[in-house]
Structure 1
């Protein structure tokens, strides 16, 4: 028996699909009936998700007001305890944007080129607004810079929500799981990560719609903003190896990879040629750094001092190779070919687990992938509860470092918060692996499952858009 295509069925009602949502729906009359007729209304699932996105981001912006009121004037204890820290205003003042310097040419910038271009453009807009509305000064300019960045991140978040809702056409309500996320509320304006998350999400939609070149271009642009979107290419290759039409799928992967290389090169080459030292700063910064905040290695160094050498590159590479082999094995040995987002989630989670730094906002990288890979409120709540705990603890730990006379969080407590965060990610990863090995439990797949049965020749050239993401 062949698996029915996801878009052959009607839209999935969350109250009938998710056990936790179904139980909660008893407070409002119970799950939607099996014979209910869902008429089209203006308040579609995507529009509801966008409204929730706007509300969540507005709450996040309000939560930043204790710091915004004084323009993030200093990294003092009050900023950490209020949990309203953001890299944005500090980098405006500390990387020369406030002084009219040009990124990479005039100043070192430890960010990929496309993110640097976004920062430079935002600085120009902020300075124009400051010239018109005032007041003068670098502090006031950094507030304008933060506000412009917050608008851009809000637009990026809206696109992420739409892309998530449209990746699997019969599951438009999945976008709401991104929109209502505590991770989005807390982390949207800490840095520029949502821009790369948007490009990665659009790349996934393009791939599922059988547009490999568009997907590749978006992956290349995403990698030029944050490197992690390049991890999409590995799962694409693994799935091509499992496809009945292996030659055709490998051709699509080759097209996507070529497009990604072209896009990444087109963005990076001008800066690499005209400002080589500035362009290399990002790579040298990440090469030379040691175990940094949030990373698995930082927790190990606290709990077992002296266990790790000063240079941990060999540990990072070795761990990455082990996890890569494990993911490849899962992809090739699973009873049915996994979904793209399942493998991509595992790849990005593995990258974060072995990376030298794991900043609070990196949870945004996993958010749409986790929702698409395992759209279950219980599992997402377990993971994000761990992220919220870590978000609170990390700022209080930094407050302790800046004011040791008034300790709030000890080194050991901070290390345990990192381990809790790791456990939350591993929980989702374990659920995803279980769904891969037992496809009948995957909430995104229809109930009937095909196990290693070759498709008829005429069915091998189906559009990829008909396949689950």
Structure 2
């Protein structure tokens, strides 16, 4: 059987429990000694680890607001939105979606986002418009952005709070999220924190063994951005390994019903507006910075001067329906590998590990990879592999890509800033670092003794929720079919009860 976390007050890890941070701490005297009194363990002390992390999150979000301030008035002259890194869809779409004219999302204008995001835009934008009609001296766009920035920041703080609740023994892991330059630069580029916050709360409810309510929030998150649907796949892998499918089915049905209920009004009464999101995504060609974009660039280099002057990636770029099928097939192939990894691993993987792999696989294989999608991975990597070194390398690559992307947008206006090859190099660095994180998380699934989180929780998965417990006997038979021995849980049960060996044969 899997070990369960103790209900006693856990030992909280130090910031220097991570090897990378421990090395940096040598510049300020090294890590806390084994006989030292922990600074946050004294009775009555207010600034304990969770509060420090929450305060850092609020500070970084405040700095993010300041960083976006040059764009708040909407007067984007001389490419200020790119040169100052302050571009935000929130402000741009206030005008592009007609909310500044009082248009109701989906009713008067087909919004390009799933319905919960559209509802959210209207709920904040229309009151700003109505107020602005009576107060023509205010800048409606600035008010709309600030209202969104405040609510999205609250969702970001709530996400950190959930990470802290899921990692009570490892609160300093959440500092990876709180101090990330990714959070600083992309927190309010789009409405992604709406889906992230809803999905995070769904995960919290799952750990509290409330699969139906978890599904409700997964469904709400998926109605804001579709990616929270991917959480159900990792849950299914864990359910298969434990032989307990009922929690998965309950969560799946709750997700589907919730998604259908919140979509129904727009689907039924404004069907064409509802279809806009799906049509846009099916028609979009290869987007900047994706795997397919890099391949098309290399096609142009390798196929130059040859007959037809066109490689496979360029051909796919010209045949979008086929590109859709190929990208979906690529994603499905990676997911098949994740499924086999999850079923063949010595121990049942932690839920957040598989969640990270699936979302990373989607981004790597997708024909669209907008700059704010990086936020999807940030809380997942904190839960899946909270080690600073590789995350810092990935963060640098993401910031470099963002700089190159804005340079490309300036160049698209007729003023060349960087060579195309430089942008492709930045895109490749992002792909490689996400692939590296994918490989490192997969490695810790295959070698669970390397998993620091599992060791902090006595071998247990703190996100397993209703799927915590012994594995199904078929897992041992399945692993033996691939020449692998019984899992540690099965081996322990066999040692304790030799008769159970019969069940595994």
TM-score by length of 1: 0.90
Tell me whether 1:388 sits opposite 2:425 in the alignment. Answer: no
Cα deviations across residues 399-450 of structure 1 (Å, max 9, x unaligned)?
0101x2x311222221221111011111111110111011000010127667
Structure 1 stretch displaced more, 19-28 or 438-447:
19-28
What's the offset of the Cα at 1:66?
2.1
Aligned residue in 2 for 1:107: 109
The 1:220/1:5 distance shift into structure 2, 3 A limit, reads: same
Distance 1:108 1:452 in 2: 53
- Does residue 453 in structure 1 map to residue 490 in structure 2? yes
Task: State the partner residue of 1:200.
Answer: 199
Residue segments in structure 1 that go unaligned for 5+ positions in a row: 460-469
Query: 1:88·1:190 contact (CA, 8 Å) conserved in 2?
Result: yes
Alpha-carbon shift at residue 85 of structure 1 (Å): 0.8
Matches within 5 A, 1:404-423: 404=414, 406-423=415-432
270, 273, 278: which one aligns with 1:275:
270
Rounded Cα–Cα distance in structure 1 between residues aligned with 2:30 and 2:273: 59
Report the counterpart of residue 119 of structure 2 in structure 1.
117
2: distance between equivalents of 1:317 and 1:292? 15
- Pair 1:378-2:397 in alignment: no
Aligned twin of 1:465:
none
The corresponding residue for 2:442 is: 433
Shift of 1:303: 2.4
Regions of 4+ moved over 4 Å: 6-9, 131-134, 447-450, 454-457
User: 1:62/1:438 Cα in 2 relative to 1: closer, same or farther (>3 Å)?
Assistant: same
Moved more, 28-37 or 379-388: 28-37
Q: Larger deviation: 332-341 or 164-173? A: 164-173
If the length of structure 2 is used for normalisation, what is the TM-score?
0.84
1:33-61 residue CA offsets vs partner (Å, 9 max, x unmatched): 33545235222222211211111111111
| Closer, same or farther: CA 103–454 of 1 in aligned 2, 3 Å | farther
Tell me the CA shift for residue 254 of structure 1: 0.6
Which range moves more in the overlay, 258-267 or 44-53? 44-53
Tell me, yes or no, if the aligned pair for 1:14 and 1:21 is still in contact at 8 Å: no
Rg (Cα) greater in structure: 2
Change in CA separation of 1:144 and 1:2 when aligned onto 2, cut-off 3 Å: closer
Please name the residue that 2:69 is paired with: 65
- Counterparts of 1:255-266 in structure 2, within 5 Å, are 255-266=250-261
Query: How far, CA to CA, are the matches of 1:126 and 1:47 in structure 2?
Result: 33
Q: Check 1:2–1:339 CA distance in 2 against 1; reply closer, same or farther (3 A cut).
A: closer
- Report if aligned partners of 2:2, 2:489 keep a CA contact under 8 Å in 1: no
How big is the shift at 1:6?
A: 6.5
Q: Which residue does the alignment assign to 2:228?
A: 229
Decide which moves more: 286-295 or 431-440: 286-295
- Conserved in 1, the CA contact under 8 Å of 2:211 and 2:248? yes
Deviation at 1:265, TM superposition (A): 0.9
Match of 2:160 in 1: 161
Contact 2:91–2:144 (8 Å) recurs in 1: yes
User: For residues 143 and 234 of structure 1, do their structure 2 counterparts lie closer, same or farther at Cα, with a shift above 3 Å needed?
Assistant: same
Q: Tell me how far 1:277 sits from its aligned partner.
A: 0.5
- Distance change >3 Å, CA 321–CA 451, structure 1 → 2: same
In structure 1, distance between residues paired with 2:127 and 2:418: 39
What is the match of residue 172 of structure 2?
A: 173
Relative to structure 1, the CA distance from residue 10 to residue 93 in structure 2 (aligned partners, 3 Å threshold; closer, same or farther) is same
Count how many residue pairs are aligned between Structure 1 and Structure 2. 447
Aligned to 1:442: 451
Question: Unmatched 5+ residue regions in structure 2?
Answer: 301-309, 460-486, 497-505
Contact 1:228–1:348 under 8 Å retained in 2: yes
* Whole-angstrom distance in 1 between the partners of 2:359 and 2:190: 18
Q: 1:15 touches 1:25 (CA, 8 Å); kept in 2?
A: no
Q: Could you say which residue in structure 1 is the equivalent of 2:469?
A: none
Deviation at 1:391, TM superposition (A): 1.0
